[in-house]
Amino acid sequence: MKRLQQQIAIVTGASSGIGQGIAIALAKAGAKVCVNYRSSEDGAKKTLEEIEKNGGEGVIQQADVSKPEDVKTMFQNTIKEYGTVDILVNNAGIQQDASFLEMSHDDWQKVINVNLSGQFYCAQEAAKEFVRRGVVEDRSKAAGKIICMSSVHDIIPWAGHVNYATAKAGILMFAKSLAQELSEKKIRVNAISPGAIKTDINRDAWEDEESRNKLLQLIPYQRVGEVEDIGNAAVWLASDESDYVQGQTIYIDGGMTLYPGFKDNG
Ligand code: NAD
């Protein structure tokens, strides 16, 4: 029996990068996956192809997570297709970088809308379904699991990215407060804070050798992360193996949060 057998997962922003990696990893562990995308239908199709190549199953669902009505429809459609939802991975995120003095209201608001409010809209729909259904014993010890994608920048300040770092810091407390409130309903909420993972969002930082070497100065473990590093953790957090893990943020960063600048006496 696979770890996530019979379970239904929604992964937001699953048409590329970390979300794509997580969707594939959850499906390999036995979950049926709703592959959400905003604009890249081709990317979502690639994710589903990879899921099916590995013997898994899924559906594709377009929705902009910053629009509550889109999110509602995505949940309704997934529940219509599969009967319920057991796992939500709140992964969708954007960067809209600018120095603080030049950051427009739009730069600020867009990042907050997607990276923070988007997670709220999705988590609320998921929690309503988890409460409605409750625990199904042969499926999972929990009534549902929510995994919030944060970033090491929920604790490492990031000049030039104040909107992004602020949204991710919000996710840190969002996950903890939700976990505290929803525990008695047997809903688990945890967060993952990746360091530098090779995806499109940070291609400039790892694609050429000079940038990569600069980035590696921030990573004691001396490699840039892969989406599988995050996918494996997401499967564990979604499974009963982590049933006593609640309200935690797990840093998966090759040691980026260990203040590597202090290694040689600061
Ligand atoms: P990515 O750009 O490949 O993935 C982001 C995904 O979110 C894309 O598929 C995009 O289409 C989707 N998305 C954006 N806005 C959306 C919206 N309104 N509705 C639905 N989907 C939307 O980058 P990634 O690195 O895979 O990022 C995934 C998550 O991981 C993000 O939350 C990001 O902040 C976080 N993260 C990434 C890194 C890294 O090093 N790559 C580090 C820390 C945190």
Pocket test for ligand 1, best of 94, 96, 122, 228 (most atoms within 8 A of CB): 94
Ligand 1 midpoint to CA 90 (Å)? 10
Which residues, at least 6 apart from 22, have a Cβ–Cβ distance to it below 8 Å?
11, 14, 89, 91, 227, 230, 231, 234
For the chain, where are the E strands, in sequence order? 8-11, 32-37, 57-62, 87-90, 144-149, 187-194, 249-252
Question: What is the residue extent of each domain of the chain?
Answer: 8-197+226-259
Give residues (CB < 6 A) around ligand 1.
Answer: 12-13, 15-19, 36-38, 40, 64-66, 91-94, 114, 118, 149, 151, 194, 196-197, 199-202
pLDDT digits (tens, 9 = 90+) for 106-125: 999 999 999 999 999 999 99
Q: Locate tokens 């589903």: which residue?
A: 48
Residue count (the chain):
266
Nearest Cα to Cα of residue 87 among 227, 190, 173: 190
Active site residue 164: yes
pLDDT at 266: 78
pLDDT at 106: 98
Query: Residue 123: what residue type?
Result: A
- Assign a CATH topology to domain 8-197+226-259: Rossmann fold (3.40.50)
pLDDT at 201: 87
Mean pLDDT per 10-residue segment, the chain (266 residues): 96 98 98 98 98 98 98 98 98 98 98 98 99 96 98 98 98 98 98 97 93 96 98 98 98 97 87
pTM of the model: 0.98
